[in-house]
Chains A and B, each alone.
Chain A
Amino acid sequence: MKNTKRLMLMNYNYYKEIEQKLELYAKKGLVLEKMGPYLWTFKKTEPQNLKYTVTYFAEGSVFNPHPTDNQQTYFDYAKAAGWDFVCEYNQMQIFCSSLENPPEFETDEKEKLENIHKCMKKSFVVSQLLMLVVFALNLFLRLNSLKRNPTDFLSSNIDLATFLMFFCIILYSSYTLINYYMWYNKSKKSVDMGGSIIENFNKTRRYFDIGYLIFLFSLVGYMFIHLLTNTAFGIIALSVVQLPLFALIFWGSITLLKRRKISANANKIISISLLIITGVLYLGFIFYSIPRFSFSERSNKPYTTVDWEVYEGMTREYRLYSDKIPLTCEDLYGHIDFEYYSYEADVEDTPMLHRSHYSQTRPPMKNAPPKLEYSIYKPKFEFVKNIVVSDLTKLEDWSDRKLETLDNAIFSTEKAYAFYYEEANEKLFSGEYILVFTDKIIQIDAETSFTDEQIEIIKNKLLSGNNKV
Chain B
Amino acid sequence: MPREKYQTLTEQMFYILLCLQSECCGVDIMKMVSEMTEQRVTVGPGTLYTLLDNFVSQGFITLTNIENRKKNYIITDKGREMLEKEYIRLHKLTEDYERFMKKVI
Contacts and interface: CB of A to CB of B under 8 A. Distances in A.
A73 B69 CA distance: 7
A111 interface: yes
Contact of A81 (B45, B51, B69, B70): B45
Interface residues of B, number: 20
A80 B45 contact: yes
A67 to B, nearest CB: 11
Interface in B17-68: 26-27, 30-31, 42-51, 54
Contacts of B30: 77, 80-81
Interface stretch (A99-107, A308-316, A457-465): A99-107
A410 B31 CA distance: 97
Contact of B49 (A74, A104, A110): A74
Contacts of B47: 105-108, 111-112
B10 interface: yes
A106 B44 contact: yes
Interface in A64-95: 69, 72-74, 76-78, 80-81, 83
B71 interface: yes
Given A73-B69, A76-B69, A107-B12, A55 B46 contact: yes
B35 to A, nearest CB: 14
Contact of B26 (A55, A76, A104): A76
A449 interface: no
Contacts of B50: 108, 111-112, 114-115
A77 B49 contact: yes
Contact of B44 (A72, A103, A114): A103
Nearest to A194: B10
B12 A108 contact: yes
A104 B46 CA distance: 9
Given A104-B44, A107-B47, A115-B46, A73 B12 contact: no
Contacts of B51: 108, 111
Contacts of B71: 73
Contacts of B48: 77
A258 B5 CA distance: 37
Interface in A111-134: 111-112, 114-115
B31 to A, nearest CB: 8
Contacts of B54: 111
Nearest to B48: A77
Given A108-B10, A111-B51, A115-B50, A78 B45 contact: yes
A80 B27 contact: yes
Contacts of B26: 73, 76-77, 80
Contacts of A112: 46-47, 50
A147 B51 CA distance: 56
A138 B47 CA distance: 42
A110 B10 CA distance: 10
Contacts of A83: 45
B27 A103 contact: no
A60 to B, nearest CB: 13
Nearest to A115: B50
A301 B50 CA distance: 67
Given A72-B69, A76-B69, A105 B49 contact: no
A69 B67 CA distance: 12
Contact of A77 (B10, B12, B27): B27
B86 to A, nearest CB: 16
Interface in A287-346: none
Contacts of A114: 50
A114 B50 CA distance: 10
Contacts of B70: 76
Contacts of A115: 46, 50
B44 A73 contact: no
Nearest to A114: B50
A111 B10 CA distance: 11
A96 to B, nearest CB: 13
Given A108-B10, A111-B47, A76 B27 contact: yes
Nearest to B44: A107
A74 B12 CA distance: 18
A76 B70 CA distance: 9
B42 A103 contact: yes
Nearest to A69: B69
Smallest CB-CB A-B distances: 7 pairs: A77-B45, A107-B44, A80-B27, A106-B46, A78-B45, A108-B47, A81-B45
29 contacts: A73-B49, A74-B46, A76-B26, A77-B26, A77-B45, A77-B48, A78-B46, A80-B27, A80-B45, A81-B30, A81-B44, A83-B45, A103-B42, A104-B42, A104-B44, A105-B46, A105-B47, A106-B44, A107-B42, A108-B12, A108-B44, A108-B51, A111-B51, A111-B54, A112-B46, A112-B47, A112-B50, A114-B50, A115-B46
Given A74-B45, A81-B30, A81-B44, 15 more contacts: A55-B46, A69-B69, A72-B69, A73-B26, A76-B26, A76-B27, A77-B26, A77-B48, A103-B42, A105-B45, A106-B44, A106-B47, A108-B51, A110-B10, A111-B51
